[in-house]
Structure formats: C-alpha cells, structure tokens
Amino acid sequence: MTLRIGTRGSRLALAQANEVVAALGRNGVETELVPITTSGDRGADPSSDPAGVKGLFVTEIVRALLNGEVDLAVHSAKDLPAVDDEGVAIAAVPERASALDVLVTRDGELAPGARVGTSSVRRQAQVFRWRPDVTVKDLRGNVDTRLRKLADGEADALILAAAGLLRLGVVPEHASPMSLSEMVPAPGQGCLAVQARADDGATLEALAPLDHGPSRDALEAERGIMARLGGGCALPLGAYAERSEAGIRMIAIALTPDGGRLARAEVQAATPDGAAGLAALELSAGGADEILGLVRP
C-alpha cells in the first residue's frame, strides 16, 4: 500500500511533509507526495473562507482528504482551525520542533526606531509591549521572501518561527531566539499535525507510531484555548503548553493589536483540556473576551 500525502507545495510545507515521509519510511510504509495549491497560496482574502486566515491554507487539502484524493495530510499545526472538520482526525503529532520565535536583524542590533517586519497581529502586539521604541511594518511572504526583503532594506528586523528556519536549514547571520517573556508563540507553533479520515483504520494504524504523546498533549491544550476563545480567525492570542511530571503547564496571552491591553494566564492542570479550561477562565477574568472582541470580524 502506498499512502498519498496531501501538502502545500511551498518549500517549507514540502520539508514538513518529507519529515513524515521519512518517519513512515523507517516503518516500511511507502508514500507519494501530492502537492495542493491552497487559496492562501493564491493570495485569497481571508473573508473568502469561513475559517478565516487559518482556513486559507488547509481547506482544499482537507477537502482532498475527505474526497479520497489523498490518504493523509500534513499541516503546520498553527495553520489549523481550533476544531477539526467532521470526518477528519489528527492521527499523529510528531515530536515538536522549537515553538519559539526568532528575532532576525540585518546588522545584529535592533536600534530605536527600527522597522520590525511581520504580518502577524500577535507578534505586532507583543513587539509594541517589548520594544515600544520600534515600529512595525506589514511584511508578507514565505521565509525566503521575507529574508530577501530584509536584506534589501524593506525592514531592519524580522520575527520568524524557529521551527521554520530549522526545517528549511536556514541559519541567518544575525538571529536570536526570543524568550517566552518577550514573545509567546502562536498556538501549535512548531508542531506538525498529520490528518487522516476518521474511518480509515489502515492509515490511522500506519500513523500511530509517529504520534509523540507530550507534543500531542501540548497541541491539544493550545488548540483548546483557541476553541474556547473563538480562535477560528487570526487573533492576537499566544499560547504555549508543555507536559511535565506534574501535568500540563500552559502560558497564554491575549492582547489588543497596539499592545496596550494584555490578559495573561499561567496555569497547570492534569490534562490538556483541564489546562485549556483554567487558562480560558483566567484570561476571561483578565478581560480577554473584551480584548479579542475588538478584533474579531
């Protein structure tokens, strides 16, 4: 049996899919990559998809999965909406790469008044809190495009996901990881989510050995806070969870886009769902519902 793997066709998406190809190959499973162009790749307006920005990069791939055109799909977990489509299951969450963001500068420093390039409202809001003396420039494109724009002087610095740089084998000359106190990552950042049809027992069985328990627990907690706070669209919401001997520890924040208001939660619970529930309560008590209500479509 050869499993057909649906993936976006970008260099990073193919690198992610090839991680799964290699893992399945080690277990003797043959695979075939099926690149799929999504509406997000075509530059569609987020309002064109019911799931907003997140749906732009996954809807066509999930449709191909449900239609039987592919047997499994590999996603960057942070691109997934908070709730799975009916008939689809996350069959495996491989071991997570770094969840942190990285500050990449052109000349090794971030001077007052520097222009920080990012299209993420979450990153923008935290930059304003961390460095109120810099400006933010809307900068879009894949990793290679953004690094080229940095080199060309369109910005003085970028904020990129460490996992993306690692998977691409890109090592910028001036790059430093950002701590959780500086930049709480997007829910699911650094995780891969491997989807299959919920009734496809053979594929689910083939993918089961790829599942990494601590990484799945972290992703479930982070998606849980998204679901409770209405995270189907791009919101200034950050979350990071990890499993320890004491249970699931999670940090979560919600901010206004200008960084002026912040709700923060730091909780611990026995289960991912418990951590998500506690964090949602703590964020709501801190005004998160009102904060996120200002930016929801």
pLDDT, the chain, mean: 92
Is 79 one of the annotated active-site residues of the chain?
A: yes
pLDDT of residue 41: 60
Tell me the CATH number for domain 101-177. 3.40.190.10
Model confidence at 268: pLDDT above 50: yes
Kindly report the pTM of this predicted structure. 0.92
Which CATH fold topology does 226-293 show?
Double Stranded RNA Binding Domain (3.30.160)
Same fold, 2-94+191-211 and 101-177: yes
Q: What is the mean pLDDT of residues 102-130?
A: 95
- Mean pLDDT, range 111-133, rounded to an integer: 95
Q: How far apart are CA 246 and CA 244, in angstroms?
A: 5
Query: Exposed (0-12), middle (13-18) or buried (19+): which is 297, by Cβ within 10 Å?
Result: exposed
Q: Which of 41, 45, 71, 79 is catalytic?
A: 79
Determine the average pLDDT of the residues in 72-98.
Answer: 95
Whether 125 and 256 have beta carbons less than 8 Å apart is answered as yes
Q: Is 45 a residue whose pLDDT tops 70? A: no
* Segments making up each domain of the chain, as ranges: 2-94+191-211, 101-177, 226-293
104: confidence class by pLDDT, cuts 50, 70, 90 = very high
Handedness of CA 159, 168, 166, 51 (dihedral sign): positive
The pair phi, psi for residue 263, each rounded to 5°, is -115, 135
Q: Among the CATH numbers 3.30.70.3450, 3.30.365.10, 3.40.50.10210, 3.40.190.10, which is that of 2-94+191-211?
A: 3.40.190.10
